Every structure is written in structure tokens, then in C-alpha cells.
Structure 1
Amino acid sequence: MSAQLFVVATPIGHLDDMTYRAIDVLKSVNIIAAEDTRTSAQLLKHYNISTPLTACHEHNESNKIDILVQRLLNGENMALISDAGTPLISDPGFKLVRAAQEHNIRVIPVPGACAAIAALSAVGLPSDRFSFEGFLSSKQSQRILSLEKLKDQTATLIFYEAPHRILDSVKDMASIFGAERPVGFAREITKTFETIKKMTLGELVSFIEADHHQQKGEIVLVVGGATAEKDLEQEKLDQLLTRLLQDLSVKAASQLAADLTGIKKKVAYQRALELNQNNDD
């Protein structure tokens, strides 16, 4: 008799970002498990959805799982929503979804808005590899420890941050990642005062300090990854070979580069050939 659990994304600001499918699902299920029933009630009212709500948040999720799972096993279809965006992404719901899976209840995603992905799509930083880190610790010592562990990651990093901590967090990032590390600052995405900018961490510190309005609302930080050590070594080798090739033959330049850097002569020679060919072209 077990029914289905729908994990439904809701708008992160602009109500028109609600999908037709999400509306249909919320109207058709027997019950909606919501992070905050007061917040979700406003959304349901806007779309004339009369489905009953029940609270499922970080403080009661563990105690309520058995009740919700039993309702699913009894044949009641259920939707899980958070206050905004996709459930489980820095929001409650993981424990309920895990319990449903353990009871062989089908879990169906109904995709839609997600602040992390929306920010990544708009700030102009590499999106082929990224790591979602959620919220950093409110304690500076723990925050710094987490950032130290991330400073050498080459993938783009995505963080959520609370407005009252944004300046301190960005200062810590600039200190640990370096003030020249690129960052995308996305605030109040899809809302009236949406702000999306790309700059360096050092510039972002100044930007936030100069305008207290930037310390309000929902904030996503998209931080460029560290330049790979291998890429740095390649860049330095290219610079050295390019200079040597101005005065020396490929063979002599590669031999000297190998002596100075410790790189294998064969590797240096092959790269010198490539650079020399590019210069000839």
C-alpha cells in the first residue's frame, strides 16, 4: 500500500519560478511536510492549494519520521518542501528521505529553484567542477579550520552565508584563500534587490563594508578554485622557455631549463618545440 514521497522544489524568491508540475503535485498529494508551515501556507494560498500541512524541521524531524513513514506505508502520497528552493540543500529532509528509502518507498524529485545553482550559473566562474559547502561555522575558529582545508581545492566552491556573518566570513576567506581569489557574490536572487557581482575577495570586503545593504538578505558566495600546482609549474616553465628561446636554440633552451628546474630534459624539449612552433605560426 506504500505511496510516494515527492521532494518538491519551491521558489527562492520570485513566485513565478514555481513549476506547473510542482503545483500539480502539491495539489494532488494527501499531505505536505513543510519546514515552516507558516511560510509554506503563504505559498499554498498564492496557488490555491488546500492540501494539509505538517511541520517537518530540524528540531522535530527525528521524532516525526516514524509517523510520516507510517502514513506513506498506509498509502498516503506526501510532498516534502522547504521554506525556499530545493529541500535537503542546507535544509531539513535528509532523514525523512533516507527513512523512506529504507522502507522501499519511492522518492520522486520534482526539480526547480536552487540558490546555489542559480548563483553558479550567473557569476561567470568555472562550473564544470564545483563543491557545495553550505554554511560555514558561526565560530571563527571552526570557520578558519574549514577554510584552511579548502584553500587548495581547484574546484569552484559554493557557500551559503547569513547576513550578520557575511563580512567576517569574506574577511576570513580573503585572509586564507588570498585577496586576489575571484568570487561571485549573489544576494537576494530573484528578489527585488537582487545583486550579482564578480570581483576578488579583497574587493568584496571593501564592497560590503561600504554598503551596509549588502549585509542583508539571502547570500550565496561562489569562490574560484585554487590554481592547480601543476598548472603553476607549467606556467613557470613556459615563461622560462619563452625567454630562453629568444636567444637559444630549442635544444639549448630545453637543456638549460631542465638544469634550472629539475624537470626531465625530454619534457622540457617537447614543450620548447611546441612553444617554438607557436611562435613561428
Structure 2
Amino acid sequence: MNTNKHKLYLIPTPISKRKKNVALPEHTLEIVKSLNCFIVEKPQTTQSFLQWIKHPTPPYKMTMRVLNKKTPDQEVYSFLKFLKEQDVGLMSEAGAPGVADPGAKLVKLAHDNDIEVVPLVGPSSILMALMASGMNGQSFTFHGYLSLNESKRVQEISELEQESAKKNRTQIFMETPHRNEQLFQLLLNKLRPSTRLCIASNITQKDEFIQTKTVHHWKQTEEPDLHKKPCLFLIYSGNG
């Protein structure tokens, strides 16, 4: 039974701040504007987002703490005091908090302490990429980041391709933006020519790029500009 009256709100944030491209639901905006305490991956990004939605509280009256991949577990645990005193908003640098994001630690802490967790409606680049890929949306797996070790990465790519063919499953993964181009080339070199590869870059931005081609056709196409852009990679070797 949940005995704590306060809540942890999971706030999805778009990459693009152009209103014509992304319109957050009114309910989401109302909740965010009511909060004055935030646990965030990157304060600058959060401040830009709050300014974009015209949050009524000035920054100096807000409580903001950082939770990124370098935050020690002990410090994450210290955030529990905020959750017990007031409603708190959790924000990733971009996208959905807790998904390929260190904020998952705080969500687990909230559940472990009977604090209600409320996901708010907003953009999800993973689902948007899957929707636009033309690949199997009935069976898919998100793997986050592949290994940094190149030999392990090659093995992972081979295993994902084999599993896709065997289970008719779409495989979704991502890369740190400055390594996108290296991963793209590796996929072209290691995947079968008939495997379908979707590149989904800068979703919701003005230069959004989403295209699906077989590896064979990608090799005959001018390489897309993926440098330092948030990007998702999807592969599919099934029969669907």
C-alpha cells in the first residue's frame, strides 16, 4: 500500500523545442509547471526546457539535483528526502527518463519506498522510430548501447541479426552521437545484404531523418549525416 502522498513524475522531454514540431499534452505541462523540485541528468537542458514551457517559478526558487551516470548510489539515495517532502520531477537529457537513462535508479528507489511513480505522456524516440521503420512492431527489443569493445560489438551485431531472423523480431539500439558514423559503417560491413536497416536521427528536429533500406541498398546510397546527432538504429532480418 502506498503510504506516501508525494509522487515522482517522469517527464519526457523532446529534442526539439520548436512548438510546431512538438506539442506536449496540456496535462503534462500543468503537472510540470506545478513542480519546483527536479532531479535531472543535465541542468542546462532542464533549464532550457522549463524556459521553453514558461514555467512560472524562477530558477532561484527551484530545487535541482543532478543524477547522471557518474552519480554515486549513496547520493542517489539521498534524493529520497526530497521525495518524502514534496512531488518531484525526473528528467533525462532528452527523451523518456529511466529508458537507457540513469534515472532508472531513482525510479527503483521510489518503488522500494512506496512512493507513487507517475509517467507523463510525451515523445518517445524509440517508439517513434519503430513506428516509422516499417519493421515488425509486434515483436521488438531495445538493447540500449552496444559494447564499446569492437570484437564484442561485432559479435553482438551478429547475434542480434540471427535472433531477428529466427524470432521475426526488430532489434533497436543506439550509440553515443559522436560514434554514430563508425557504428553505421560497421553495420554495413557486418550485416547481411538482405537485412533491413533503419536510421532514425534527430527525431522531431527540423533535420529529422528516418529511412529504412536493405544493407545492400544503403551501400549504394550517399551516407547520411549522423555526426553528433541523437540516433537510433533498427535492424530486421525476419520475413514480415
Percent identical pairs in the alignment equals 24
CA deviation vs aligned residue, 1:124-158 (integer Å, no higher than 9, x gap): 11211111111212321121122232222221011
Relative to its length, the structure with more helix (as a share) is 1
The one-letter code matched in structure 2 to 1:41 is Q
Aligned to 1:88: 98
Aligned to 1:100: 110
| 1:216 shift after superposition | 4.0
Q: Does 1:54 align with 2:65?
A: yes
Shift of the 14–125 alpha-carbon distance from structure 1 to 2, 3 Å rule, reads farther
Q: Does 1:218 align with 2:230?
A: yes
The one-letter code matched in structure 2 to 1:47 is I
- Bigger RCO (CA 8 Å, 6+ sep): 2
Provide the C-alpha distance between the structure 2 equivalents of 1:125 and 1:180, rounded to a whole number of angstroms.
Answer: 14
- Are the equivalent residues in 2 in contact too, given 1:184–1:197 (CA < 8 A)? yes
Q: Secondary structure at the match of 2:199?
A: strand
User: Following superposition of structure 1 onto structure 2, how do residues 191-206 of structure 1 map, counting pairs within 5 Å?
Assistant: 191-206=205-220
Greater shift, 149-158 or 167-176, is seen at 167-176
CA deviation vs aligned residue, 1:8-67 (integer Å, no higher than 9, x gap): 111132443233222212221240111100111011112221243221111115232222
Q: Does 1:76 align with 2:90?
A: no
Aligned to 1:162: 176
Aligned mate of 2:144, from 123, 126, 134: 134
| 1:196 shift after superposition | 1.3
Using structure 2 for the length normalisation, give the TM-score.
Answer: 0.84
Aligned mate of 1:23, from 29, 52, 76: 29
Shift of the 53–84 alpha-carbon distance from structure 1 to 2, 3 Å rule, reads same
Larger radius of gyration: 1
Provide the C-alpha distance between the structure 2 equivalents of 1:118 and 1:77, rounded to a whole number of angstroms.
Answer: 29
Aligned to 1:11: 14
Shift of the 206–52 alpha-carbon distance from structure 1 to 2, 3 Å rule, reads farther
Using structure 1 for the length normalisation, give the TM-score.
Answer: 0.73
User: Following superposition of structure 1 onto structure 2, how do residues 169-188 of structure 1 map, counting pairs within 5 Å?
Assistant: 169-188=183-202
Gaps of 5+ in 2: none
CA deviation vs aligned residue, 1:95-117 (integer Å, no higher than 9, x gap): 11111111111111112111111
Gaps of 5+ in 1: 229-281
Aligned pairs, number: 225
The one-letter code matched in structure 1 to 2:161 is K
- Are the equivalent residues in 1 in contact too, given 2:17–2:52 (CA < 8 A)? no
Provide the C-alpha distance between the structure 2 equivalents of 1:145 and 1:8, rounded to a whole number of angstroms.
Answer: 35
Provide the C-alpha distance between the structure 2 equivalents of 1:202 and 1:31, rounded to a whole number of angstroms.
Answer: 50
